[in-house]
Amino acid sequence: MPDSQPRSVAPRAPAGESAGLAPLTAAGPSANGRARAAAFFDLDKTLMAGSSGIFFARAAYETGMISRGRLARDLWENLRFRLRGSTDSRADDVRKRVGEMIAGVRVRDLQRLWPRILAGVLPRLYPQMLARAYAHQDAGMPVYILTAASQEMADLLAHVLDFDGGLGSRSEIVDGRYTGRPAGPFNYSAGKVLSMRELAEREGIDLGASYSYSDSESDLPMLRAVGHPVVVNPDADLRRIALAEGWEIVHLDRLGRRLKVLAALGAGTALASLGRVVRERATAASSPSRPARGTLRSLPGRSRTRGVQAARSPARRGAPR
């Protein structure tokens, strides 16, 4: 366990955009001289590429909990999330849909999905973010996953990654089964700050000396609740705010850039093909021995016929009838 008076850390490099995380170095104690700092990491698009929810959906489909159509819609939502970020309406919709999905399901049956889910999530984790989290721990800070995903997911990943804990959304359980109803505030947007403050009160954490990491404008409350916000793979709104505030910005997700490159290559290929067609038609139009495309193919045949008739006409005049 971390000692009671760890050192806080601060980035060496100035705030700004980068493709990696600035190294950490030891700094002075927290403002009150007693409470310790902590580091809070959002999960989706921050600790990992994409959304953890898609791997839950796949596991649910493989075990018959959801339909193929529902899985397809979840896959599409995951792509939109990676490219555009989260929105309040989509987050509420996901929470309601998951509640309906697990209503009446045994806790044990859901727990048996975890190996499938972890098999998808663990390869998607950013090594750079894990290195930053462990650097915080080495500097004496406890590290927590802070996510709108289930408390079970937060607990499991915190255990596997050797973090100090996880804060997620809780679902009501009665007689060993999920009811589909929430068992506390949704751990999203302002709800994350409630979880942070409860933990800070319980564990003696100074949020003003702490760090938080997230990708979405919806997590502004979480980022503003600490003294050292860091944005990772930010959506457009959060990037604009981070630049104005002078916060550290980190880009790790390559999907958007890859799609732009593919789109540019596709456009270039299309233009090249169009140019080739134009050149071919121009060459054909200027060549006397090759008719341009689009002209009547019967015209050359008619000209040849007339020529043959003209050559044969004298003989025909002298021929006996």
- Is 42 an annotated catalytic residue? yes
Among the options 3, 42, 109, 164, which is catalytic? 42
Are 129 and 23 a contacting pair, CB within 8 Å? Answer: no
Residue 31 is given by DSSP the state T
Could you identify the residue written with the tokens 């359980």? 173
Cβ contacts of residue 108 below 8 Å, gap of 6+?
A: 176
Residue type, 98: V
**How far apart, in whole angstroms, are the C-alpha atoms of residue 303 and residue 103?**
82
* Cα separation values, 32 from 7, 204, 206, Å: 13, 11, 8
CA–CA distance, 233 with 41 (Å, rounded to integer): 13
- Could you say which DSSP state residue 239 is in? H
Lookup: tokens for 201: 């009160």
User: Amino acid letter at 193?
Assistant: V
User: Which of 44, 164, 215, 219 is an active site residue?
Assistant: 44
List, as one string, the DSSP characters of 148-189.
EEEHHHHHHHHHHHT-SEEEEE-EEEETTEEEEEESS--SST
- Pairing assessment for the beta strands 9-11 and 24-26 based on DSSP bridges: antiparallel
Residue pair 36/9 in contact (Cβ under 8 Å)? The answer is no
DSSP code, position 30: -
The pair of three-digit structure tokens given for residue 227, joined into one six-digit string: 């003294």
Active site residue 237: no
- Taking alpha carbons only, the member of 41, 42, 38, 75 closest to residue 58 is 75
Structure tokens at 185: 């505030």
Catalytic machinery residues: 42, 44
